[in-house]
Structure 1
């Protein structure tokens, strides 16, 4: 299939051609909008037969759309169908989750597909307030404090990094993987 590019000059001889091209553009944009709406509502693409029957009904009511021939309208619908099939080729059934609302269920589903284990720790586990080095738990730690010093071992802990290390260690010990150590860099400066 070849695509050609033309410049259409404003002349009275080209008036009919310009009107036909504009009608084709309006129908094309309407078909794309229908596809988007259908996908948002049902989660799948609109097939070509339904789209063609819908456009045929609309063409009967709209004289501007009747300026374009029925073969051209069918060609527009078929081109859009082919484009959506190519888009959805990678999203076959079973690849996407079947509409899980909760993150926990989604993570379990992905882990099951990849033969992995997901370990959830308690929501109120004090991962930010626990010192990674000695295990000391602070009684209170404001959200505005991004770094804090441990009162027992004097190590400086970044809130997010410390919480990530503690969550990793708790998850590994729950699954009986033992102690999880941070990887050491190959080259040190």
Structure 2
């Protein structure tokens, strides 16, 4: 072998090594993005998705009992007081999320903004309740008020669960949405039915 042949072989080996390192780096980058997205989706499902589901169910229950109360005696009943307490407990979980600083959710700013808007709407729920209790709201205005809060709660769910979107994250969200924890329900603005 001549020196030129040795140089040519070394050059080819160096080029091949560079190509392999580039391919490995790209594969590692894609895999790490999918892993980060998977953690983010799981964290959102645990810290926000399930609490939002509980809140929506509580709001719908409170809306129904409030409408029944207005149609009847018009005075708060023990059932209505209990429904309001359930809504307040669910709302507390959403408030915790907006104050939290989970490192897995650093890029979930848009979701956090929508959750913050929901908290602002929940803060106004006390006004609706007091107007109901004093007879200053009729049944249709009351239901419309609850519907607005519920709509904002549904809007917290959005396609942008993070800055980076991958097929794995979308598939994971679909699986989480399809097979939720017991007691979770399927989306619908005015009626949710519990899944078996």
Q: TM-score, normalised by structure 2?
A: 0.29
Higher helix share: 2
Larger radius of gyration: 1
- The higher-RCO structure (CA 8 Å, 6+ apart) is 2
